[in-house]
Structure 1
Amino acid sequence: MKKLITILFAAVLLSGCIEGEQHRYSGNSGSWSMTYKVVESQSGSQQVEGLLNYIGPETAPERIEYSMSTVTQSQSATGIPVTDGKATLQNTNCVDCGIIQEHTKIKVEIKWDGTSETFHLDEEES
C-alpha cells in the first residue's frame, strides 16, 4: 500500500512539471527579426527561448546588447555574440516570477556598434 501511495504522490508531483501553454511571439525592425517562445508549466514556472536574426543591409555586428520588457517584467544582457547573423538569447527558467500572459506586447531594444532599434513582438496566432 505504501508503494502505491508513493507512486501516486510522485505522479501528482511530477504532473506539475508537464508543459502547459506555449506562446510564440515575433517581430522585426529595419535590421533585426526576432522569434520568442514562452512555455508555461502547470507548476507556475516558465521557460523562454529567443532568436534574433540580422536582416540589415550591412555586415552583421559581432556582439549586441538587448533589453526586453513587458508590463510585469524585463530582462537584458550585454555582449551577446552574433554568429552567421544570428544571436540566441538566454534560455531561462523562472519559478514564481511574472509569467508572460497571453496577448502580451513585448518591447525589444537592440544596440550594436553605436546604433539602436526598438520594436515590439506580437503573439502569433496558433
Structure 2
Amino acid sequence: MVLSTALYGKPAFRNLICNGLILAEYGKKMSKRLKNYPRCMEVINEYRADALRLYLINSPVVRAEPFFEKDGVYGVVKDVFLPCYNAYRFLVQNAKILEMEGFTPFVPIEQYSSKVI
C-alpha cells in the first residue's frame, strides 16, 4: 500500500476482503503443525459431503467469526437431513401401501393439449 501510494499516487486496490484466523473447537488456532483440525475426509465419511457443505454455508467462519466445530456438521445432519429423509421414507412407505391396495391417482377427463394457434 505504501509503495503503490508513493510510486503511483493511488492505492493498490479499491476493496480488500480478508479472513481472520479460524479457531478450532477449543479456541486454539487451527494449524497444520499442531494438527488440531479435523481431517476433511473423516468429516465427509462420518457425516457425508452435503452435510459439510451446508454447515460451511451457514458456519460462523462465513460470518467472519473465527470458529469451526465438527459437532456443528452433526447438528446439520440432525436438524436438516434427518427430518427430510424421514419425510421421504414416510411418503414412500405410504405410496407402496396405497399401490398394493389398488389405488389409482385421479386422472382428469379433459386432457390439455398444446395446440399452436
Tell me which of the two structures has the higher relative contact order, counting C-alpha pairs closer than 8 angstroms and 6 or more residues apart: 1
- Asked which structure has the greater CA Rg, the reply is 2
After TM superposition, the score normalised by the length of structure 2 is: 0.23
Bigger proportion of residues as helix:
2
Bigger proportion of residues as strand:
1
